[in-house]
Structure 1
């Protein structure tokens, strides 16, 4: 396993959706490598070896199957059953030079299926972990397939013709795996492969149900009834050990005896029968499974997963409600729920079947309907990421709705959701917001990153609309489905009852929206439209005597003025009638969103028909305001530039990793870096700590203070207690400030030693920093989400103020800027009441360096720069802590199946 945690065996998808196995070859693979080359045509062998020599073939087979060659590495691709080698990639070089030669061969029958690209993606990660700085591939100029593979990788390839040979140079000394061009190209290839692999699931030509027994009330029979009732367009069959037909559908005892191999088998047999059935399906050539059954033991789960991978199947579940595809060309309802998904435009993926039923019912009621539905259950294989890829390619889906309790690969989720969100809103409920898992956090930074904060960072960066309840999710979906996005946060509230308008205005403000005054011109025109006694400022009280036609004219006049970005109508029936009916006779959609609050309605939200579309009508002001606020947030995210990850050319990744390795060799269980090593590690990434010295007794502290005092403010120094088990120095009274002269330093050391005792190993002596804005910047490794950068107001009050923003790494320039701009301390940083602005560019630079350090050194599990003092003339890191732990990172963007 390399530093990115790439396992010895990786299952991945070829371009056509076929599952292949990637792994380093061993001596036992020599015959397989030879066999692959022997099937290659003379032309293919010539392009690979510049000749057709069998000696070269044997030398290659011997070389790639020899393990543990320094500066060298190899991967082979095998068919999903592991029986046939279909591709070989290797790099060979001198470990001291950092340069290696890249070579690739793919079996002729597998040309054009993306095997070479897949192998190179993985070998690039291997080579970088092996300290290879440059890959060089020599190929013949007319070997267009190889040149095309390299060109399409997204890597910075430099080609030059030397003595009739094309020399292709691929530099790896930059941050290749996180460059946008490379990741975009990788994501495009993965999306194509993923969608191809899911076609047997969501567009099957034939389906078999296993578990539809003779009992009419069984889950299997419910599945069969729903499949029949939906009028599935393909062939339908039942797997049953003895019956010849079930409910009029032909039945067969085993998958291999079916008249045709089904694309999809829906499994609802008891848990102890599932592993054997899945294996039988794989042997028969089934391409996809939906496993409804729950209650599998770990051993049964392992067998199921192994069969799915070895036979190249895709699987939804187990422990799920099923899937549905409402496209009339398929008409698949492989669920056992009582709610039938109506054809529509919302893609829905949930883990909980109950949530899936509730969402489907609400989407049906609103007329939004469902395009594709998947209850993912325990997610052995197909995940939310897969569903997002499917919906991105599906023209029927205009909105993606997720209710997930976990994220298998949140980094990839973030990139996929961001890509989907550019054209289709992605909505979710932020479920599982408990902070219990962080109660024992050891540092300020870790304590700040609760699951709620971490997930919020993920959703915010990915542009996902995350709400608190299912009700809010439905409310937002209704608004996004029926109305345009607002251009801003300004709202006009128009009501026919003063109290309702006031409540609506308050709800809008509480949701972060603005309710501004219109100005004299608009107010005068509204006054001319409305009866005496009407209030024409914002909110507008039209009085109860106004009819729907006048209300519509008020809406149009307010929107025409251009002062607001949305209109909220707060309507109540009066003795003169219900104006809502008149409103619905007008246009449903204008240039800006219009929504209605009608408290007398029983439903939390309805979509009512109007001219040219529908109008969202909410039963309470809070729900309407929350929906509009989320629509505004989506509008702002959609127009925001994507940002770029800045290049940092002065970092020394190798030195930082070596420091981590040396410490963990000495401390296998990990721990806090001593001050000297902490400063060295930060220094490898260009983060300089304020001058300091470490002293182990009082006289040494005095000597160090004399040396450092001239660089402090007025010759003042600071003493800080250090010990490997002291996390928060303020908790043990471990800081002495504003010390002047030998006696003060000596007395401070003696007092610290007496108060703290054996916990104190030494003191750190520093010059007193110039005053400024005290900040905290740090990193924590979330076990699910990976590294997160934390920023906020710092110093001893950091936990009290709780001003902490978080972003996932790698930080873009916009991420770093928003951490500062969105913090409570932003006015202090950018200049407050005439005070000069601090060096915000310097603060952002430190955040970028922390982000890169966390990505490059996965053993760094916590880092605190607290306080970080920002002034107009620069930024000073006053105190720093780094904790390391033995752990492997994982390249989150490599293509791999679960």
Structure 2
């Protein structure tokens, strides 16, 4: 183990009771505190830790933990407000794959998760060092530590030897362990948010005596909204504001507030946060904007030191509409309506729009958080809160950035199986994209990366706030459709045509009605009705006739949803018929959604109250209705599939791949593009098939290689190579269809002449047989991790841009989606009589590429173009791989932002 292994920065994480601790490596200067940790233990706990109650053991343990860095040893401590409260260490004893672990927790802090949290961090560090197993000796009566090991989620075995027991813990990563870590983190996180979202006392700092200040507006909202807890103000120039008692400082408050709302100038935020921490506050809501980097660091330092959760800065506020709480700490114009939708946004303006829209629709809000600059509490935190609050059944997000997308994805996959999770796909332009170095990097846009996350996590991504509300209205009020088959009923032919176009454009199907259904409809509709799909019931249709026809269609197994396109007519008015009432007064239609489009409607979407207490969504535009139905159908399809699994792969040598990577980066500390031989060595570690090839540095070597590699037709291909050459076709660095020694020699001499001073060698390959040219590649996103791309390859790949993407590691479902998503997919399944390609081999290629990217964080990008796919197999014809000196990052390790 190198010194660098001990240089990781300190992190903060939550204990089981929601308090914050610092996890960091032990340093020599910690000797006194570490020794004190042991010396303050009771004799009984000392005996359980050291198998004897010797005070001398404390000094020896501190000596060992605080000694200088040495190979195979690592010690981490947990610290709360500068006080060491726990220590965990492992020692390989000079070995490589096994380490002995020990844990100590301060008296009085047991059963709060200190030891478990430390062990999780040791597990992450040990895996990065290649350690596969932990061992630990304990007294059989030490039930606490034995239970800790048993509850980790890792495979653990015990061997008893008299009063002692030997525990062996296998560190292999699997979903069981990740789920256990996630469950512990979720419980701790939700507990820590109680003070923020269910505070018993709130203080507002910065509420002025005159109207117009943000602090005063929030204080007014809290007071007027009927907040049921203790409400206090802090203002040295007033004894009362808006009828709320005011005090000169946080320290002077008559009781410690759980939540402090901070609405002071940016320069005063750090001092205010420090004062709140010293007073014992548990959460901060910082509305102030314009903090510079120094002020931000000071704010976060106070939050972490004193264990305060933080929303903001630069935000609109938070709300929790629970009747027993009635918390509205925002400066929005109106109070949110109580309801069942959880909302988290980064933009205050978007937050106001969503609050207003949900209130108008009658859906209402369970809780709301404007995250602002999102230095602590994030969308992931809010998802976990809604999952456990017992009130939320619909989640709406507007996130402009992701702090830990892979952890967010795991949470979202779980939450969205319980409730719809909708978002606005914000920032869809290419504005921040760096110049791309390969075809794969050129294709991997931020939009593609975000959409891959949304698709894999089952998140419904909309293009606007309006579309978000339109979709929320349907998912809140109607069952999900079993498929995409929609029947349209209208009283005006033109409206039916518009609806049909909108449905087709949204990817919905309009199946023809069966003869039996047609006869049944003609029997109830007025003369002149046209019974196709759309069903034109004519302007003469009555309320009862419309209700009967909808009932008939809803009962037909070939229809998944019904859309009514209605326009007001003088005929209906004259007869007193209300066609909308045909829907709202009808009994519930069961498991199929029914929606309506009313072109004269003044609002984009409404929820019409129906008999029995339900609602029916009504849209002003058919496009909005069709989009909402399409989103609902996609959600239903996602829910119908079981969660995917990452398949096990044979013939994978991860250790050898890391050796290849380390060797290259040792020789090239700044990273770079691998030469063909190193590329081939790396691909061989993952069983990725390449077309046979040979390396040649002289004309004679090229001839010999050609003789060895010629296929039945005797033709070969020659490709020039030098460091940094990426797009060979653009540089005219490829010769095709070379026959005979003379042509091979001429091609080599051409390269030598044109690329004099650059050429380091050539790659000789047999001319590939016919097949479909594809692109497969990886880009390592610094935030999202590895993104796998797939689609049409060859020289036109950048022009046609026919690609799909998914985040690694790929599951079996992800691979299927990757192959079927591009427009070229029909070619792979035998379109135009060519016969299907070897789909199993193509799946294996993508899975192995995904595994390589997941194993190697140094893999900045890989570009396989073309990949030749045919019925006989799949082979990579050309490879480019770029490595950068990056360290692994455990996205699932429990830590605060």
**Change in 2 beyond 3 A, CA 1:162/1:741:** farther
User: Does 2:729 match 1:734?
Assistant: no
Q: Deviations over 1:355-393 (max 9, x none)?
A: 111111110000001110111100111111111111111
Counterpart for residue 749 of structure 1:
748
Counterpart for residue 69 of structure 2:
68
**Change in 2 beyond 3 A, CA 1:3/1:472:** farther
Counterpart for residue 331 of structure 1:
326
Judge conservation of contact 2:37–2:106 (CA < 8 Å) in 1: yes
User: Does 2:40 match 1:25?
Assistant: no
**Change in 2 beyond 3 A, CA 1:6/1:598:** farther
Q: What SS class does the counterpart of residue 779 from structure 1 fall into?
A: strand
User: Does 2:579 match 1:579?
Assistant: yes
Counterpart for residue 790 of structure 2:
791
Q: What SS class does the counterpart of residue 377 from structure 2 fall into?
A: coil
Separation (CA, whole Å) in 1 of partners of 2:103 and 2:651? 33
CA shift for structure 1 position 56 = 3.0
Q: What SS class does the counterpart of residue 477 from structure 1 fall into?
A: helix
Counterpart for residue 677 of structure 2:
676
Q: Deviations over 1:740-762 (max 9, x none)?
A: 21111111122233344444332
CA shift for structure 1 position 58 = 2.4
Q: Structure 2, unaligned stretches of length 5 or more?
A: none
Separation (CA, whole Å) in 2 of partners of 1:719 and 1:778? 23
Separation (CA, whole Å) in 2 of partners of 1:719 and 1:156? 52
Q: Which moved more, 1:790-799 or 1:520-529?
A: 790-799
Judge conservation of contact 1:500–1:571 (CA < 8 Å) in 2: yes
Q: What SS class does the counterpart of residue 438 from structure 1 fall into?
A: coil
Q: Deviations over 1:281-330 (max 9, x none)?
A: 00010000000000111111110011110010001000001111100111
Q: Structure 1, unaligned stretches of length 5 or more?
A: none
Instruction: Report 1:445-484 matches (<5 A).
Output: 445-484=440-479
Q: Deviations over 1:829-873 (max 9, x none)?
A: 233355443222222122122212212211111001111222333
**Change in 2 beyond 3 A, CA 1:95/1:524:** farther
Q: Deviations over 1:211-236 (max 9, x none)?
A: 11121221111111100011111101
Separation (CA, whole Å) in 1 of partners of 2:754 and 2:800? 28
Q: Deviations over 1:676-732 (max 9, x none)?
A: 1111122222224222222223222112212222xx353322111112221111111
Judge conservation of contact 1:5–1:889 (CA < 8 Å) in 2: no
Separation (CA, whole Å) in 1 of partners of 2:223 and 2:202? 11
Q: What SS class does the counterpart of residue 795 from structure 1 fall into?
A: coil
Q: What SS class does the counterpart of residue 865 from structure 2 fall into?
A: strand
Counterpart for residue 694 of structure 1:
695
Counterpart for residue 539 of structure 1:
534
Q: Deviations over 1:495-553 (max 9, x none)?
A: 01111111101111110110000111101111111122211111100011001221111
Judge conservation of contact 2:409–2:457 (CA < 8 Å) in 1: yes
Separation (CA, whole Å) in 2 of partners of 1:64 and 1:675? 46
Judge conservation of contact 1:6–1:890 (CA < 8 Å) in 2: no
TM (normalized to structure 1)?
0.97
Judge conservation of contact 2:154–2:177 (CA < 8 Å) in 1: yes
Judge conservation of contact 1:106–1:116 (CA < 8 Å) in 2: yes
Separation (CA, whole Å) in 2 of partners of 1:276 and 1:822? 54
- Counterpart of 1:443 (choices 432, 438, 442) is 438
- Counterpart of 2:304 (choices 299, 303, 309) is 309
- Counterpart of 2:502 (choices 492, 507, 510) is 507
CA shift for structure 1 position 4 = 9.8
Separation (CA, whole Å) in 2 of partners of 1:6 and 1:529? 79
Instruction: Report 1:116-131 matches (<5 A).
Output: 116-131=115-130
Q: What SS class does the counterpart of residue 480 from structure 2 fall into?
A: coil
Counterpart for residue 521 of structure 1:
516
Q: Deviations over 1:535-577 (max 9, x none)?
A: 1111100011001221111111011121110000000111122
Counterpart for residue 137 of structure 1:
136
**Change in 2 beyond 3 A, CA 1:510/1:756:** farther
Counterpart for residue 213 of structure 1:
208
Q: What SS class does the counterpart of residue 507 from structure 1 fall into?
A: helix
Q: What SS class does the counterpart of residue 586 from structure 1 fall into?
A: coil
User: Does 2:388 match 1:387?
Assistant: no
Counterpart for residue 881 of structure 1:
880
Judge conservation of contact 2:443–2:801 (CA < 8 Å) in 1: yes
CA shift for structure 1 position 493 = 0.4
Counterpart for residue 358 of structure 2:
363
Separation (CA, whole Å) in 2 of partners of 1:797 and 1:757? 28
Separation (CA, whole Å) in 2 of partners of 1:138 and 1:771? 63
Counterpart for residue 593 of structure 1:
593
**Change in 2 beyond 3 A, CA 1:548/1:95:** farther
CA shift for structure 1 position 99 = 1.2
CA shift for structure 1 position 590 = 3.0
**Change in 2 beyond 3 A, CA 1:404/1:3:** farther
Separation (CA, whole Å) in 1 of partners of 2:162 and 2:92? 22
Separation (CA, whole Å) in 1 of partners of 2:152 and 2:187? 15
User: Does 2:179 match 1:180?
Assistant: no
Q: What SS class does the counterpart of residue 732 from structure 1 fall into?
A: coil
Separation (CA, whole Å) in 1 of partners of 2:524 and 2:469? 35
Instruction: Report 1:547-566 matches (<5 A).
Output: 547-566=542-561
Q: Deviations over 1:611-659 (max 9, x none)?
A: 1211100000000000000001111111211111122354333332232
Separation (CA, whole Å) in 2 of partners of 1:304 and 1:5? 27
CA shift for structure 1 position 52 = 1.9
User: Does 2:113 match 1:114?
Assistant: yes
Separation (CA, whole Å) in 1 of partners of 2:3 and 2:19? 26
Counterpart for residue 625 of structure 2:
624
Q: Which moved more, 1:144-153 or 1:722-731?
A: 144-153
- Counterpart of 2:226 (choices 231, 235, 239) is 231
Separation (CA, whole Å) in 2 of partners of 1:570 and 1:67? 77
Counterpart for residue 148 of structure 1:
147
Judge conservation of contact 2:689–2:874 (CA < 8 Å) in 1: no
TM (normalized to structure 2)?
0.97
Q: What SS class does the counterpart of residue 255 from structure 1 fall into?
A: coil
Judge conservation of contact 1:705–1:765 (CA < 8 Å) in 2: yes
Judge conservation of contact 2:128–2:888 (CA < 8 Å) in 1: no
- Counterpart of 1:293 (choices 279, 288, 308) is 288
Q: Which moved more, 1:570-579 or 1:289-298?
A: 570-579
The size of the alignment, in residue pairs, is 890
User: Does 2:819 match 1:829?
Assistant: no
